[in-house]
Amino acid sequence: MVYDIMIIGGGTAGLTSGIYGARAGKSVIVFEGSFAGGLIVTSPFIENYPAIQNISGPEFATNLLSQAEAFGTKIVYESIIEVDIEGKIKRVISESNEYIGKTVIIATGTKRRKLGFENEDKLIGKGLSYCAYCDGAFFRGKDVAVVGGGNTALEDALYLSDICKTVYIIHRRDKLKGEKAISNEIFKRENIKFLTNTVVDDIIGDKVLNLVKIRNLKTGEIRDLSVNGLFVAIGQIPQNEIFSPPVTLDSSGYIVATEDCKTNVSGVFVAGDCRVKKLRQLITASADGATAVNSAIEYLNGGK
């Protein structure tokens, strides 16, 4: 089958594109390598999406997926490992299948940035985590630390403060970067402690995380922080390597696109956090999803 629209990535942007594309009567397939919804699934709560006062990330993702499927969007849980997208007919290849279509929307989102320590990967799931909402329950009643000072880190700290004994926020600056509403709530929690102007200097452990070494950026002092769990929330990085060339990326690896989400490759569009943009939020991902698929439909109807 030759699909009208092939969407790589089943997060908020990709599923929104799926909804709009299917409603327009186009044949749409979405490829998702892990779980539908993207990083929003790891958010314990969402309070800044218009008309929805409070909803959990998993619930939002489930609703979005159900809506996309209800309109006829096909969801395939396969990771795309190779693409051939310069011709009129585009090919995307997973580990087990090859698919062809007339247009491609790249909506691969981002992944959590790692601390960069040599033993980091082997400690994932053994005291080190990038998802408080996924793994927080394992540390009920224990001492934990969150690395970061943005919205994700603060949301993680709030969630963990309800189930953990003490939550340390390790932040390299002297002020938090998150939204005022979240910061205000953080300061109300007596079991949240702040380690500002501080970075993680090392993580110690073989089979499990045993110790976190922290360094004060002003004094240079290094000391031990004894916690059972370390949750990393220091930003995201794109995962666009398989598209370039021919798709143009900026120096940080984000896809360069026009305001209407067109890339430099004819018939290839981009939506969501994986593209160059100033604001990466749930609502901007939704907006990108609608914009990108509208551009794809115009292309299918004879536009450029």
Neighbours of 23 (CB within 10 A): 15
Dist. CA 206–CA 216, nearest whole Å = 25
Looking at residue 270, the DSSP 8-state letter turns out to be E
Q: Which residues pair with 103 in a beta bridge?
A: 5
Sign of the Cα torsion 260, 262, 266, 268 reads negative
- Strand-strand pairing, 128-129 and 143-147: unpaired
Tokens of 10: 């089943």
Q: Which residues are tagged catalytic?
A: 131, 134-135
- Strand-strand pairing, 74-76 and 268-270: unpaired
Of 277, 303, 232, the C-alpha closest to 107 is 277
What is the end-to-end Cα distance of the chain in Å, rounded?
Answer: 23
Q: Which residues pair with 209 in a beta bridge?
A: 205
Alpha helices for 46-131 (secondary structure H): 57-70, 120-123
